[in-house]
Structure 1
């Protein structure tokens, strides 16, 4: 095997075992960054997370701090520099009874070194851990059964259900499931506790219930640096199955709750709180209709007056708040922007917006205590991921020593664009293999993103074009109408008409790329997942220009998708009867002549398995030829969901997609992967 064939961008076994950055946590004094690194477990059938210390000054190499076989999560620093985290690692026995399988612990890693020890244990575990810089209080999220009053009753109910093998859930409202899991058996509640002791002898004391049994209301929680203000994304259920997002302030001392952001025509979320607890910077989402798209604006709430207002109303981008400056004059946000996701500063008075980063997509953004520096994970299709320190004053970034590094990518990335028939610019990324030229043009794979409100702007370990590029294919990643980072008008162009401008934009950019000398125009394959899968189905019913089409987790019949997805109220806002009639691929099933690879996971609750099954039936129903020459295939995952997440199934996914593309390009039967 050559070095290129051993590369993670070619060898699938190496690819799924390649570590990747997933998050950052900063100590309250700003001296230590902790990076979460995901990698495979011992038998390479699941992923676990380890925690690494990263020097914010960039002077020392990264050092691994946790090594449990089962991995860590939900990390937060105490104000003395100790690190609190949850883990599935084995819990020491207390007394004569070994811990139950349903018991998990809150662990503490001393700031001055030493081994992690159990800070607290609980049947049912912990969901959220929040700390602050000024007090020893910690906010804990715990999952509990509805109707129980304490941990003892909760543990007893969990044990009884487990012993009797009862998994049934009785619902009295909507929703009932979300993405890949069922809702209703247990819900999040918030508690406050005080951490006492020091070094390797911290303890949780004065545990207080802050919210009680509030069902599924709590969506996300954030706390101010001084610990005085706790803000929760609060879901409210309305008649007709509608759920809307509000913001609620919760007093960490008393649990008193006040709704601070609500409106009939909008939802709120994505909150961050100022250091002193006075201001909340959040996002106000306009509720959409069949003819008017969703829109998002930054929303600033003064908790002293109770008043809220839009910030930077003229800014035609959707900012996601990450921090407020120490003096409360500036908000820091991440927003999609023309194929990237930069960090911006926003003057909270004037609304002036300033771009702080020049390339890549940024996530897990954290602010230093003095406000001079922001830390973030950064990636792009030319960069699998690094850790950067962003100087706010100069708007420059420097790369910090990382726990991970990657080999050179086997090709190059180009920004491409064309004009739609209405004159609108349609952009995208084109990734070309090494050696692609007019003398040796590469076959093209068109890959359409999901969402549909999204953008090809960040590296994805789930959707990695380099595994195709390393095999000599060029990959086109278009951002058609409905994509984010190009302004509200670009989204409105495709709103409620998925089969119109989004489709014609994709075809226009594909035409432009296929006209290049370094791209073959006779061997293109199309693929997409979720909304990209919808577009795969729409393309299959409208053109035979592609050698083959891969449709992953796709919407096939919009009429059946609407009421069976996990958030039917959201999709109902856009999917009017007229939209359904004009844009549902299933109405044109008999037009499909292109070989299709259908892929679906049974645990997909966003695009339920019925969509994939109905598409597969339609392909069979409308084929009246020799069964030995049946051109379509169905890759079914009984225990995967909207995404194919486990390492070995990811290998099977790519093996099947690559074999299908090779077969249709060669006009030969698909080579069956070894494990299928």
Structure 2
């Protein structure tokens, strides 16, 4: 298939990995300045470095670069005075240098270190009213203070010991080992010294074109000879704060945080506790029980109420259920918000006057912003197209700012007016962001059909330019992970346009277990992974193949994580696809359960009967389709043993013949230093090049492509 469409970045892997990527959003107290992170490719091409950029909330001035740290900056947060806080590693330091908390004054031109920690600063939170600052950092579980933590780290480093002795569960999370350091929350007391020194980060600004904007005086950094004191508010937390979200009361006198508790044998529950900033005294607000956990606390502007997500725990036959609840702190009274709304809350932010909330959620293949009335509990959808993240509210409550993405464009800053509607939705205005939308090599449309049980089904379909009845496009079925997920937002890792640019049509379905379609959509696939999720995928594939511009004789399937599980299941239960790619996929549920990093969660669903009925490894003899297996060794969510077991099973027991020399049409792409995702830019290029070559060989009948030179 040929096309006269102009060239796009997606035709060349080098161009794609070089595209800038936005993340995070902070709003100044006066509502005029937005700050976002922009990740760009390091000149060495081996990593991304994030700088902070200012975006005019009015949409008038051009975006301006604020920081130039050699190792990047993250987590912007404003003080009530308009100063900008951020976390960064001191430029020019060695590889052992830890991230510190920095301050860039509202007037610009100077940056200074506010605080440091032996384990590095992980996060920052600022009280909206008082300016109280809290930071998150990890300390040795038995350390008594910051100095003791530094000493314990030195002992381990000098002895070159990395071993960890555990006495509880869990011991790993996604891609890193837990312990001997565990997260704690610290109050920032005092201020840093004020001795100026040359700042190699060069925090003077640049405009959107990259030209320098003169600073009022040379950028400086304050030496850290007398850093602020970090006062430990949670010295006995142990593993209770691992992955915890917290919120600081507007007056800065207390905070509420998630608190993880052990329950029985290797089980965990999450509750909410209140911590007094002056004393560190802890009070239970919501304690987990046999059926519920509590997450994502947000304190009201007047400090009188709390909203949180109450999560009903799953059972072997029903999935989890997330609900938005309101707690009156003075009385302990609780009530559900949005009882008539069949969705799961995402990010939740209070309106300044406390009358309501704005909330994001997955919804019908999108991620709109909703408004929640605190008095009535009514939920109203505000936006139409796109997925909105990193929501912040204007100080006067007139607007919401967010990053918006979709499968048609990466994240970009927008303003959502809360007092203007167009066609039933709020007015959304594009702001002048630091990155332009890349040109796409095709178009996006939707495919709909009905499941065998009558459930409506939908999917996104990305089509190459020029696809028609006379120039049909081969089809790739992309299966999302989760399994509680949705194909709704732009992804740099699983990006369909890299295949579309090569002439492929890419189908991205939301089958049973997908979010945004009501609780029934989750429950109908719960504990039945090879049933409704599988038949839904095939039904949507049938609907896509029925199109005149799609070639039903040239198809492939691929997926990662739970999508990798489904790819493995598909391989053993149909031969309709000519190639299958399984990335970080579950293969033997019996072996997966005790080795994953969070077995207690999966054990609620994976009964012995479920594991026996729906484990892909039991159908290895039926696999006659060439498979590309991809796995990273540092993957703790789906341990590499799943990939190794799948690979051995394919070579020893699948229905695909082997050559006399023992080689096979199957392939195993192994990354020794990657995790559940393939994150390094050069590895991402290898991943895409290998996948594209594998599909072209087995689906398009092209000659086997030479592997990338970097693979040998």
TM-score by length of 2: 0.91
Alignment match of 1:271 (pick from 280, 283, 297): 297
Q: Secondary structure at the match of 1:617?
A: helix
Deviations 1:351-370 (A, max 9, x none): 21111111100111111122
Superposed displacement of residue 5, structure 1: 8.6
1:217 corresponds to which residue? 240
1:57 corresponds in structure 2 to: 58
Structure 2 CA distance for aligned equivalents of residues 329 and 21 of structure 1? 31
Alignment RMSD (CA, Å) = 2.0
Trace 1:594-605 onto structure 2 (pairs within 5 A): 594-605=625-636
Correspondence list, 1:331-480, <5 A: 331-394=357-420, 395-480=426-511
Q: Which residue of 1 aligns with 2:272?
A: 247
Identify which range, 311-320 or 646-655, moves more after superposition.
311-320
User: For the structure 1 residues 228 and 540, does the alpha-carbon distance in structure 2 shift closer, same or farther, using more than 3 Å as the test?
Assistant: same
Aligned-partner SS, 1:494: coil
Residue 204 of structure 2 corresponds to which residue in structure 1?
A: none
TM-superposed CA distance for 1:492, in Å, is 0.9
Separation (CA, whole Å) in 1 of partners of 2:302 and 2:352: 8
Say which of 258, 270, 284 aligns to 1:233.
258
Distance in 2 (CA, whole Å) between partners of 1:205 and 1:602 is 40
SS in 1 for 2:569: helix
Q: Does 1:256 align with 2:281?
A: yes
Q: Structure 1 stretch 191-200 or stretch 524-533: which is displaced more?
A: 191-200
Aligned equivalents of 1:107 and 1:273: distance in 2?
26
CA distance in 1 between partners of 2:89 and 2:710 (Å) = 30
* TM-score normalised by structure 1 residue count: 0.96
Instruction: Return 60-69 or 113-122, whichever deviates more.
Output: 113-122
SS of 1:122's equivalent in the other structure is coil
Alpha-carbon distance change, 160 to 587 in structure 1, aligned in 2, over 3 angstroms = same
Q: Kindly indicate whether the alpha-carbon contact (under 8 Å) linking 2:101 and 2:115 is maintained by their aligned counterparts in 1.
A: yes
Q: Secondary structure at the match of 2:559?
A: strand
- SS of 2:29's equivalent in the other structure is coil
**Residue 177 of structure 1 is aligned with which of 165, 172, 176?**
172
SS in 1 for 2:539: helix
Aligned counterpart, 1:95:
none
SS at match of 1:432: strand
Match of 1:626 in 2: 659
Cα offsets for 1:245-288 (capped at 9, x unmatched) = 11111112221211212242101112221112221111111011
Give how far 1:627 is off: 4.2
Shift, 1:100, TM fit: 8.7
User: 1:482/1:111 Cα in 2 relative to 1: closer, same or farther (>3 Å)?
Assistant: same
Specify which of 88, 112, 115 is matched with residue 110 of structure 2. Answer: 115
- Measured in 1, the distance between the counterparts of 2:120 and 2:466 equals 53
Query: Which whole-Å deviations, capped at 9, do the CAs of 1:43-90 have from their partners, x for residues lacking one?
Result: 010111100011111111110000111101222212221112121233
CA contact (8 A) 1:331 1:348 kept: yes
Separation (CA, whole Å) in 2 of partners of 1:526 and 1:376: 34
Higher alpha-carbon deviation: 178-187 or 122-131: 122-131
Retained in 2: the 8 A contact 1:194–1:204?
no
Aligned residue for 1:521, secondary structure, equals strand
Which one of 107, 124, 128 corresponds to residue 129 of structure 1? Answer: 124
Specify which of 670, 677, 687 is matched with residue 636 of structure 1. Answer: 670
Q: Which moved more, 1:345-354 or 1:198-207?
A: 198-207
Deviation at 1:216, TM superposition (A): 1.5
CA change 1:652–1:3 in 2 (3 A) is: farther
| Greater mean alpha carbon deviation, residues 7-16 or residues 410-419 | 7-16
Provide Cα deviations, 1:141-163, integer angstroms capped at 9, x if missing partner. 12110111122221121122112
Superposed displacement of residue 573, structure 1:
0.4
Aligned-partner Cα distance in 2 for 1:474–1:449: 16
Equivalent-residue separation in structure 2 for 1:507 and 1:334 (angstroms): 30
* 2:345 pairs with 1:319: yes
1: CA distance, partners of 2:544 / 2:503: 16
Segment of structure 1 superposing worse, 68-77 or 424-433: 68-77
**Which string of whole-angstrom CA distances, capped at 9 and with x for unpartnered residues, describes residues 365-385 of structure 1?**
111122211111000001222
For the residues of structure 2 that align with 1:207 and 1:467, how far apart are their CA atoms?
Answer: 47
Matched residues in 2 for 1:670 and 1:633: separation?
13
1:300 to 2:331 alignment:
no
The equivalent of 1:533 in structure 2 is 564
- Secondary structure of the equivalent of 1:59? coil
Does the Cα contact within 8 Å between 2:63 and 2:434 map onto a contact in 1?
yes
Q: 1:426 aligns to what SS in structure 2?
A: strand
Unaligned runs of 5+ residues in structure 1 are: 93-98
- Counterpart CA distance in 1 for 2:395 and 2:603 is 44
**2:707 counterpart of 1:672:** yes
Per-residue CA distance 1:187-231 (angstroms, 9 max, x = gap)? 111121246599987986564321113112111222133323411
- Kindly report which structure 2 residues correspond to 1:491-506, keeping only aligned pairs within 5 A, or say none: 491-506=522-537
Q: Aligned-pair distance for 1:485? A: 0.5
Moved more, 430-439 or 207-216: 207-216
Q: Which secondary structure does the structure 2 equivalent of 1:571 belong to?
A: helix
- Mapped to 2, the partners of 1:666 and 1:598 lie a distance apart of 19
Q: Which residue of 2 aligns with 1:563?
A: 594
How far apart, in 2, do the equivalents of 1:508 and 1:18 lie? Answer: 35
Q: Secondary structure at the match of 1:640?
A: coil
- Figure out how many residues of one structure are paired with residues of the other and give that number: 669
Q: Partners in 2 of 1:333 and 1:262 — Cα distance? A: 24
What residue number does 2:200 align with? Answer: none
* Structure 2 CA distance for aligned equivalents of residues 308 and 465 of structure 1: 44
Q: Bigger CA drift: 321-330 or 106-115?
A: 321-330
- Cα deviation 1:595-653 (Å, max 9, x = unaligned): 00000000000000000000000011025532466110000000000000010000000
Question: Structure 1 residues 441, 46: CA separation in 2 closer, same or farther (over 3 Å shift)?
Answer: same
Correspondence for 2:157 among 162, 166, 180: 162
CA distance in 1 between partners of 2:90 and 2:698 (Å):
47
Instruction: Provide structure 2 residue ranges, at least 5 long, that are not aligned to the other structure.
Output: 195-219, 421-425
CA distance in structure 2 between the aligned counterparts of 1:3 and 1:418, rounded to whole angstroms? 32
Whether the 8 Å contact between 1:493 and 1:501 is mirrored in structure 2 is yes
In the alignment, is the contact (CA less than 8 A) between 2:393 and 2:399 conserved in 1? Answer: yes
Shift of 1:104: 3.8
2:74/2:87 contact within 8 Å kept = yes
1:650 maps to: 684
Asked if the contact 2:269/2:288 (under 8 Å) is kept, the reply is: no
CA 1:604–1:389: 2 relative to 1, 3 Å: same
- Give the Cα–Cα distance (whole angstroms) in 2 for the partners of residues 636 and 5 of structure 1: 35
Quote the offset at 1:306 in angstroms: 2.1
| CA–CA separation in structure 2 for the residues paired with 1:396 and 1:567 | 42
Pick from 140, 148, 156 the counterpart of residue 143 of structure 2: 148
Please state how far the C-alpha of 1:111 moved relative to its aligned partner: 0.9
**Using the alignment, how far apart are the partners of 1:361 and 1:658 within structure 2?**
28
Q: Residue 523 of structure 1 aligns to a residue in which SS?
A: strand
CA deviation digits over 1:295-336, x for unaligned, max 9? 111011111212222111121000124211222221211111
How far the C-alpha of 1:32 sits from its partner, in A, is 1.3
Q: Decide which moves more: 632-641 or 248-257.
A: 248-257
| Aligned counterpart for 1:508 among listed residues 539, 543, 552 | 539
C-alpha contact 1:287 1:294 (8 A) present in aligned 2: yes
